[in-house]
Structures are given as structure tokens and as C-alpha cells.
Structure 1
Amino acid sequence: MPTVLITSDSHGFKDELKKLKERYKEKVDGMIHCGDSELDFNHPAMEGFYKVAGNCDYDPEYEEELMIDIKGLRFFIAHGHRHNVKITLDPIAYHAEEEQATIVCHGHSHLAHATKIGNQLVINPGSIRLPRGRREETYAILSWGNTAYSVTFYQLNGKEVKSLSQQFIL
């Protein structure tokens, strides 16, 4: 079953990103960082991530958004600050739909969630440094097969946040 690690809003955390990469390097098919790392694009902690610029990232090498395919699944990745994700998910979902993406990954609000919008799955992994709406810092693991999708949220220590984890059919 293909699996992807999704994180965001690490705001300067380096060691934590390195630990996540070590924990999952042989277990996932891709790693995504949805912005606000506050690290240079080529910083060793960011190596191996598909990554975009957040509103706190100033290295011009970062793209504002990315379209990628992992194991036959199309992802749209953006931080979300240019799509008003703190107000509504509609603009980012619409933009991703135009790009024919099934999975939308974003950050910015620091609010961990997975939401189905039409035939898309919109995932915000939360923040591994400054969570909002809950105490636990979070990142997400997306797994899929055929039409079934599983989004599991974890704390940095690897403990699952069961109240956030969900299953979807698209």
C-alpha cells in the first residue's frame, strides 16, 4: 500500500525533521513539507522532501506550489496562505481540481484535519512546532489503495492521535 509522510509549519525545527525522516525513510514512498520550515531550500533537514514556500520562508528557490505524482496519485501542494485556507478550503480545492489533483496538502493554519471535498482529499498535517486547536504537535501519514484512503495523524514521539485519524472513500 503506497504511503506518504506529510508535515508542515515546523518553524525552524531541524532535529525533529531529521528524526521524522529517519523514522520513515524506508517506510514511505514520499515525504511532503507544506511550508513554513523557515529553513533554506537546501538545508540538510529539508533534503528528501517535496517542499513549498510558506509565508515565513524567504529562500527564492522554493516554489509557491507543486504538482507531483506519487505511485499514480496526483498531489497538489501549497502552504495555503495564498488560498485563504484560514477562511475556507474552497479556493485551494478548486485550484487543485483544475490541476486534476486528488490529494491537496497544505499548512498555514496549524489546524490538523483531513476533509473530503467532492472527489478530493484535503489534508493539513497541523504543525510539529506550534499546534493550534489542540495541544499535540502533529504530522500525517496518508496510505491508499484503489478508492480507499487512510489519513493517520501522529505526534512527534510517534504516538497516534486517534481522534484525528480517518478513513475515506473517493
Structure 2
Amino acid sequence: MKYLVVSDNHGDRDVLVDIASEWSGKVAGMFHCGDSELEVTDELWQKYIVVKGNCDYDPKYDKECVIKTEDAVFYMTHGHLFNVNTSLTHLAMSAREKEATIAFYGHTHKLFAEMENGILFLNPGSISQPRGKYSDLKTYAMVDISDDTIKVTYHGRDHQVISELSSEFNK
């Protein structure tokens, strides 16, 4: 099954509308890792599972969530409460505690996908303000889970796959 992951649009609602329009009905779920800067009551959240980022001020946003599907246990948080700018140690401890197989996070604006101790850690980058090595690429991620593998692809705002950023991991 395929899952879409986006983060850190920082007030650019139109890009989330465009992504939802492109992928609604084509993916099993759409995740937003925080810093939308949209109202918690925005009708757009009917399409996305969303968590609170450090720039989302409404206390009604959840700080984290766990979603169990037939092919994975997803743990999602923004990352700022776990010091992800310096290490994934605290995020990893929380993901293990929640028995997650995949952990989504944002905050750093740096795309990242790595399997560690049976958990895939994934940051989709920022769809509006990317940083780091790929600071010229505004991205979101797609996670395609099969029986044996998890394939991660990154997409630009034009919805095209950025093939050099693709990764595949054994389950």
C-alpha cells in the first residue's frame, strides 16, 4: 500500500490542496508532520492525518499519533519535542515504545529516510522551505509497502518522482 507524507508547508495551504487533489483516492493515507500554520478546524484535515508542529499554536492539535494498518504501525510527531536536529535517539525510544515500524517526523526541513533496528525513520523534507543538502528541492515523500520491502520516493511540487532520492529497505 502507498502512503503520502508531507511536512512544513508553513502557511502555504494551496500546496496541500494541490497534493490532496493529486493523490486522494490513490493512496491509503496522507500524513502531515506539522508546521502547517493552518487552523485545526481547516476542512483540509479531513484528507490528512496531522500533528502539531512548533509553529502550530492551537492546543487542539495532537502532538503525536499512532496509526495501525494491516502493513505497518506508523508513529508520527513533528520532532521538535524530541531534539531531532541533533539526534534521533529520543524519537527512536518513543517509536520503539509505541511498537512502531515506521516513524514520520518533520521540523528539520531536511529529507531523510533510514532503517534502524527494524524501524524506518522518514522525514519528507519541507514542501515550502527545504534546508540542508537538498535545500533547492521542495519535497514530500511516498512510502510504498509490499510484503518484503518498503520503497521511499520523494516527489517535487510538480508531483514528479526525484529518482536519485529513491530508497528501498527490507522489512
> Shorter-chain-normalised TM-score: which range?
over 0.9
Matched, 1:147 2:148: yes
**Unpaired segments of 5 or more residues in structure 2?**
none
- How far off its partner does 1:104 sit? 0.1
The answer to whether the Cα contact below 8 Å between 1:8 and 1:139 also exists between their aligned partners in 2 is yes
The answer to whether the Cα contact below 8 Å between 1:113 and 1:164 also exists between their aligned partners in 2 is no
The answer to whether the Cα contact below 8 Å between 2:109 and 2:125 also exists between their aligned partners in 1 is yes
> What SS is found at the alignment partner of 2:154?
strand
- How far off its partner does 1:112 sit? 0.4
> What SS is found at the alignment partner of 1:92?
helix
The answer to whether the Cα contact below 8 Å between 1:53 and 1:63 also exists between their aligned partners in 2 is yes
What does the per-residue CA deviation read over 1:47-74, in whole Å, with 9 as the maximum and x for residues that have no partner?
Answer: 3111100000011110110011133411
Matched, 1:38 2:19: no
What does the per-residue CA deviation read over 1:66-93, in whole Å, with 9 as the maximum and x for residues that have no partner?
Answer: 0111334110000000001110112101
Shifted more, 121-130 versus 45-54: the winner is: 45-54
Tell me what 2:139 maps to.
138
Tell me what 2:61 maps to.
62
- How far off its partner does 1:163 sit? 2.2
CA–CA distance in structure 2, aligned partners of residues 81 and 157 of structure 1? 28
What does the per-residue CA deviation read over 1:116-146, in whole Å, with 9 as the maximum and x for residues that have no partner?
Answer: 1110000000000000122010000001112
Which ranges of 4 or more aligned residues in structure 1 deviate by more than 2 Å?
Answer: 44-47
> What SS is found at the alignment partner of 2:66?
strand
Tell me what 1:106 maps to.
105
Number of positions where the alignment pairs a residue of Structure 1 with one of Structure 2: 169
The answer to whether the Cα contact below 8 Å between 1:15 and 1:45 also exists between their aligned partners in 2 is no
CA–CA distance in structure 1, aligned partners of residues 164 and 69 of structure 2? 27
> What SS is found at the alignment partner of 1:104?
strand
**Unpaired segments of 5 or more residues in structure 1?**
none
What does the per-residue CA deviation read over 1:93-120, in whole Å, with 9 as the maximum and x for residues that have no partner?
Answer: 1110111000000000000010111100
Amino acid at match of 2:138: E
> What SS is found at the alignment partner of 1:19?
helix
What is the TM-score with the length of structure 2 in the denominator?
A: 0.95
What does the per-residue CA deviation read over 1:17-41, in whole Å, with 9 as the maximum and x for residues that have no partner?
Answer: 0110010001100000000000011
Matched, 1:48 2:50: no
Matched, 1:28 2:27: yes
The answer to whether the Cα contact below 8 Å between 1:67 and 1:76 also exists between their aligned partners in 2 is yes
